[in-house]
Structure 1
């Protein structure tokens, strides 16, 4: 009986780890489809507020402990500002000004920032294979999201056109996606500190509610006609992005972040643009070029390198030791 339960957990474990990134990728497609029916900050607030309420209902049902100290509430408030209001605000504003694929590339550069922050804050060893995986992943998501002509100009040495394209890039809102990426990275490395003062699932729910209220306040100040143009399909898309893309995805991600290696978990974020572009192709009829498919392969390779870096490092050390031992034996007994 116990063996059957363990086998079921072994099957479910990779699905649970991949679930947040699948949900985020598909939620990006849902959000992009309704951007013209609403306003970005209001949409960001809708992704956070109902999702936070759902997470807290789950926390109450499972009898999770409430925050007990001012330090706990202080970390939750900071978490709400950085990973709630700033991340969702930058994401929604950036998505309004750019495509879902390119925006996903910019956001999913955050594992590199997470790896550097974890190395600095937690002394998390990345190692050769980890850094190689991160670099391969960045190349992969760049091939997925960057226009083919930019890549061609880069390798053909057309630096003037390439520079002009980057100038236009930052005028079109991708820099907001980079800010969203940095906000998510900072929020991710906050999790161990938050876990010291309270339950991470409860903190996730409250950070969504507080972050959503911040965005709602700013939306009420600077935006108009937030909901009058939203049709039934739009509300269904918002519901999916809220329930699955926020409540479930955030809850699972931050729970896993509190239990495991943050660098390895964050590296799986490279899957998000893969799912976003795949479902964009199915739902929005977006086509992938040969360079983008190459980026998908590199992305999957980067995930393997980062998550298996310790095993690969041991195998490499054993190979070097065996190779050195073989050379020594050949010299002694030619």
Structure 2
């Protein structure tokens, strides 16, 4: 349930982006969302990476934060939220395939069916017949799903050596630093006089959308199987749709209601244990075969 709070919070990103942030600055939004929150967590925990974790933190920060944030905001600016969410819903399927290859997890037919149902449910929930398709936006949404799926699986494969808040801070800082020069080169310096709404949006995304949500997300990756974690991401479009109805007065249709039921059904099916008494293998527990051991 705590892990589910993270994608629920991320479901507010599209509303905050469109209502509070300045237009045309997706990379700036990504930097401000990641870097201040990461620096604050590192300062509080007073822990720095050691040994191989310097490059591992850089890789994970790029996948989970830097590249993902950039693609997320590009998709948010160039696509209707429904299109971006539908393309991003392929992430559980990608995680299932990667977990089978890198972690030795069994690729259960039920997982594949639930993943396909999740994409169908999200499309019914948020996709409109007159949705405008933008090639770059679709590519950004698909790329975001790929890099986030890879980041989830590698975060499970590489057992973190430090407390949760410290490793979360490392990734946020690494991702933010990777994004900073790109944002300055592509978009130029930030505006000199941001509005109060802009500052509110940035603060919300940094504190709630990054520092808190990612700490809960990475905690879930430590404790749960990757497929169980990634299916929770389907809550994001569900929350986004609910906010559109509550905050923006958007109309809900019967098809959207059915889509919400399908999404929840796929999520519940993915969380069901694969056998009586079965539980995910954590990084601290050796698995039954060398090919399945976490590194």
| Contact in 2 for aligned 1:38/1:227 (Cα 8 Å) | no
Q: State how far apart, in whole Å, the 2-side matches of 1:30 and 1:42 are.
A: 14
Q: State how far apart, in whole Å, the 1-side matches of 2:14 and 2:194 are.
A: 17
Query: Counting helix residues as a fraction of each chain, which structure ranks higher?
Result: 1
Q: Give the count of matched residue pairs.
A: 278
| Contact in 2 for aligned 1:129/1:309 (Cα 8 Å) | no
Matching residue within 71, 78, 81 for 2:59: 78
Q: 1:116 aligns to what?
A: 97
Matching residue within 35, 39, 44 for 1:53: 39
Matching residue within 139, 152, 156 for 1:188: 152
Tell me, yes or no, if structure 1 residue 203 matches structure 2 residue 167: yes
Unaligned runs of 5+ in 2: 279-295
Q: State how far apart, in whole Å, the 2-side matches of 1:237 and 1:247 are.
A: 14
| CA RMSD across the alignment | 2.3
Q: 2:50 aligns to what?
A: 68
**Stretch deviating more after TM superposition (124-133 or 86-95):** 124-133
TM-score (norm 1): 0.76
Deviations 1:49-103 (A, max 9, x none): 112123324434xxxx54221x111111111222222101111111111122322
Q: 2:120 aligns to what?
A: 139
Q: 1:29 aligns to what?
A: 15
TM-score (norm 2): 0.86
| Contact in 1 for aligned 2:111/2:270 (Cα 8 Å) | yes
Deviations 1:12-43 (A, max 9, x none): xx2x1221011111133212223444611111
What are the within-5 Å matches in structure 2 for residues 210-289 of structure 1? 210-224=174-188, 226-228=190-192, 230-289=194-253
Q: State how far apart, in whole Å, the 1-side matches of 2:268 and 2:249 are.
A: 29
Larger Rg: 1
Shift of 1:202: 2.0
Shift of 1:285: 2.4
Q: State how far apart, in whole Å, the 2-side matches of 1:260 and 1:194 are.
A: 14
Shift of 1:198: 4.4
